[in-house]
Structure 1
Amino acid sequence: MKFFRGKRSIPKIILYLSYVILGCVLMDQILLMSKTYLRSLGNQGFQIVPDLNVTPCHPVTNVMFLKTHKTGSSTVLNIMYRFIENHHLTVALPVKGNIFNYPWPFKAAYVNGFPDIWQKYNMMCNHLMFNLIEVQKVMPNNTFYFSILRNPVSLLESSYTYFKILPFFVKSETLDQFLASPDSYYKPNEMYHMLAKNTMWYDFGYDNSAEDREDYVHSVLDEIEQRFQLLLIAEYFDESMILLKNALCWDLEDVVYFKHNFRSQDTIQNLTQESRERAKQWFSLDWKLYQHFNRTFWKRIQDTIGLENMQKEVKKLQARQKELMTICIQKGRGSYINEIKDQEFKPLQSGSAHILGYELKPQLDIKYMKICHRMILPEFSHLSLMKAYQLSQIRRKL
């Protein structure tokens, strides 16, 4: 072959190989961007075929997460904080503490640096009482709104243990006793009263002591449905993460998680069936909120990804979670606070609950150090890190 003869042919060989490599790279990018695949045509070669089941998308970076109480929202918060840092986004943080002056309705003035530093933020995800007009002052028009709900019976049981220091809970010995006569303990004019009745309803910006009328409930559900593009369900957290990933066009790595702000089994109360029914009545607005969006949750799965594909995606998520648990966490499980040596990893304790945290494995491979560190950081430690991150952004902006 003349092409390979003589020293003068060497540059031609290099040029030829360069074209081949460049062609492969370009083809790979074209297939990736257009969401296509190759179909074999036997001896005639291959045909490029579009994948009609996949729509090209770009990661959504303007997101408002309404962090509801005792719903697994601290785990979602960890996911949000990691995404913010990894993608160099701006985040609306409270002026003081970890909440936007809850339980008062949210105001833009509660955001640190608004409006002097930033007019709008990419993300907002700390506790607040939802107030759309004020939220829209700090979030862009194309913001994606989502939140998470939990079965109100389980939510109340968790709140009772976690907020046992509050007067309406501390006066009763057990939740069964509280539910036998809730009006004897609950006072609607007491601070944080919403943590004892229709908590989620209040977090969404509504009166938690409102009369449970059918027309009123439907109007509120319609308002929430129009504003929030996605409502997750705590009892189906893995499925929720897949829906969130797909809705935001994020990667699996963005939504992999370790549980946060979770209790040991010995502080979980088993309610009688009678108490469970009483809890549904006492939290009647929350119960209807949960029932409605639990139905729409499963309808969304069926209409989009499908149950079979959802199961496959959940298995991938769980496999990655298990892998990271093995890599990152000492003992491969949650630890009591007295087992955790590093102060940074000790979760806040509250009420009569034993909140578990994680110990980082020693001598981690450097490539896993950051992801492991961020995934196990409890809420308050992670907030401190996010405030330092925000300060560095402000300095660059100034």
Structure 2
Amino acid sequence: MPCRAKTNVMFLKTHKTGSSTVLNIMFRFAEKYNLTVALPADQLFHLGYPKTFVAQFVEGFETIGQNYNIMCNHLRFNPLEVKRVMAANTFYFSILRNPIRLLESSYVYYKNYVPAFRSSRNVKEFVASPTKYYHPADYRENIYARNIMWFDFGYNNNAKDDTRYTQAVLKEIEQNFHLILIADYFYESMILLKHALCWDLDDVIYFKLNSRSQDTVQTLSPEDEERIKAWCSLDWKLYLHFNQSFWRRIEKTIGLKVLEKEVDNLRTRQKELMETCLSEQEAVRKDQIRNRAFLPFQSGAADILGYNLRQDLDNRTMRICEKMVRPELQYTSHLYAVQHPHKKRKEV
């Protein structure tokens, strides 16, 4: 029996996990089916983050109530409050990334914002003795420096790594979320998402957004990696647990053979669309982006890449391509203007 596409979906947007690309997928789907997105109120681009989420952070909640279809901007998860906004049959999913890669990415991206990062010279120096730079008094500003995924899911990122506690949290996350994707296997994640939501292949096609140039990536030794696993042990447990369930889910629902075939289809379609849309066929550095409307937010020492569209596109193709490359802040602002035309537009 053919399934029906799920249109009530909540995506917990974690940090530095490829989640901006997923947000673009969600926004495009919302536009395609004219769905209502739970957007941040007023001039904000996140749903109250890093404060724990409450329904009032959503624009129009008082009048719209529990009639939103899509929620995907950054928030710190709080299931009871999210359920006030989202319908009872909402599909919940999120994405995790290997904490080793994640911490290195966070370090470069948040270098200027996080006290623990600011006071160390580079990521190697930080992970060599994190407690030298990470002070509990600065915990609010330092969330990106330790167990950030654990924090995003609503838990204490400085909690003691106690087996009973971590097992209870993992169980709770399993109860709250229908699916957890793994950023390190992004193509596979998109195929799994497509199946879980009963969406079409074109719904999960993407151009990688908010990625940075390779020359800002800092190299880590095996010792550094072990130190990160110990320092971010809660995130490490979270990642290991859901990496296992991710592959179990694939084997149970799709099978590796079908997965491989569908990943090939996704790659092919992605390549076709990049050839259609992009003048350079790939992401370019910030100073090479011609249209400032497609310039992603820049942060820290990371050179966040973007795209240039071809100039010879017909109107219909141009609209498709623009959506594919529209950065997170610009897309949020655009949807906000469409959904709340009487409110002051969000300034990017």
What is the TM-score normalised by the length of structure 1? 0.84
SS of the aligned residue for 1:263 comes to coil
Change (3 A) 1:141 1:117: closer
Q: CA deviation at 1:324?
A: 0.4
Match of 2:206 in 1: 257
Which residues in structure 2 correspond to 1:78-117 (within 5 Å)?
A: 78-95=24-41, 96-117=43-64
Deviation at 1:363, TM superposition (A): 1.4
Q: Percent identity?
A: 56
1:120–1:137 Cα contact (<8 Å) kept:
no
Partner of residue 75, structure 1: 21
Distance 1:312 1:285 in 2: 35
Shift of 1:272: 1.2
Gaps of 5+ in 2: 344-348
Q: How far apart, in 2, do the equivalents of 1:329 and 1:365 lie?
A: 13
Counterpart of 1:181 in structure 2 is 129
Deviations 1:243-295 (A, max 9, x none): 10010010000000000100101000111111110000000000000000000
2:262 corresponds to which residue? Answer: 313
Following superposition, the deviation at residue 393 of structure 1 comes to 10
Number of the residue aligned with 2:241: 292
Show CA shifts across 1:130-173 (max 9, x none).
Answer: 00111011001111000000000000000000000022101111
For residues 168-196 of structure 1, what are the alpha-carbon distances to aligned partners after superposition, in whole Å with 9 as ceiling and x for unaligned?
10111111100111011112332332110
Deviation per residue, 1:4-27 (Å, 9 max, x gap): xxxxxxxxxxxxxxxxxxxxxxxx
The separation in 2 between residues aligned to 1:280 and 1:168, in whole angstroms, is 17
Q: Which protein has greater RCO, CA pairs closer than 8 Å, 6+ apart?
A: 2
Asked if the contact 2:296–2:304 (Cα under 8 Å) also holds between the matched residues in 1, the reply is yes
- CA distance in 2: counterparts of 1:108 and 1:318, whole angstroms: 38
C-alpha separation between the residues in 1 aligned to 2:195 and 2:342?
29
Q: Is the 8 A contact 1:102 1:128 kept in 2?
A: yes
Residues 14-73 of structure 1 show CA distances to partners (whole Å, capped at 9, x for unaligned) of xxxxxxxxxxxxxxxxxxxxxxxxxxxxxxxxxxxxxxxxx3111100000000000000
RMSD, matched Cα:
1.2
Aligned mates of 2:280, 2:107 — CA distance in 1: 30
- Judge conservation of contact 1:160–1:169 (CA < 8 Å) in 2: yes
State the shift of 1:375 in Å: 0.3
- Structure of greater Rg: 1
1:290 aligned partner, one-letter code = Y
In 2, the alpha carbon distance for the partners of 1:276 and 1:254 equals: 35
Structure 2 equivalent of residue 49 of structure 1: none
User: Equivalent of 2:103, from 156, 167, 182?
Assistant: 156
> What does residue range 204-243 of structure 1 map to in structure 2 within 5 Å?
204-243=153-192
- Once residues 335 and 189 of structure 1 are traced to their aligned partners in structure 2, the CA distance between those partners, rounded to angstroms, is 39
**Which of 29, 46, 62 is the matching residue for 2:8?**
62
Looking at structure 1, the residues matched to 164 and 228 of structure 2 have their Cα atoms a distance apart, in angstroms, of: 22
SS in 2 for 1:320: helix
Amino acid at match of 1:278: R
Distance 1:237 1:380 in 2: 22
Answer with 187-196 or 166-175: which moved more. Answer: 187-196
Equivalent-residue separation in structure 1 for 2:162 and 2:74 (angstroms): 28
Aligned to 2:310: 361
Unaligned stretches of 5+ residues in structure 1: 1-54
State the Cα distance separating 1:304 from its structure 2 match: 0.9
* Counterpart contact for 2:65–2:84, Cα < 8 Å: no
The 4+ residue runs of structure 1 with deviation greater than 6 A are none
1:277 aligns with 2:235: no
Offset of 1:336 from its aligned partner? 1.1
Selected match of 2:115 from 163, 167, 175: 167
Q: Give the equivalent residue in structure 1 for 2:90.
A: 143
**CA distance in structure 1 between the partners assigned to 2:63 and 2:175 by the alignment:** 31
- In the aligned structure 1, how far is the partner of 2:13 from the partner of 2:294? 21
1:167 is matched by which residue type in structure 2? P
Select which of 369, 373, 377 maps to 2:326: 377
1:194-213 alignment to 2 at 5 Å? 194-213=143-162
Shift of 1:120: 2.5
Give the Cα separation in 1 of the matches to 2:63 and 2:177.
28
Partner of 1:232, secondary structure, is: strand
Do 1:94 and 1:100's aligned partners in 2 also have CA atoms closer than 8 Å?
yes
Q: Please give the alpha-carbon distance, in whole angstroms, between the structure 2 residues aligned to 1:352 and 1:112.
A: 33
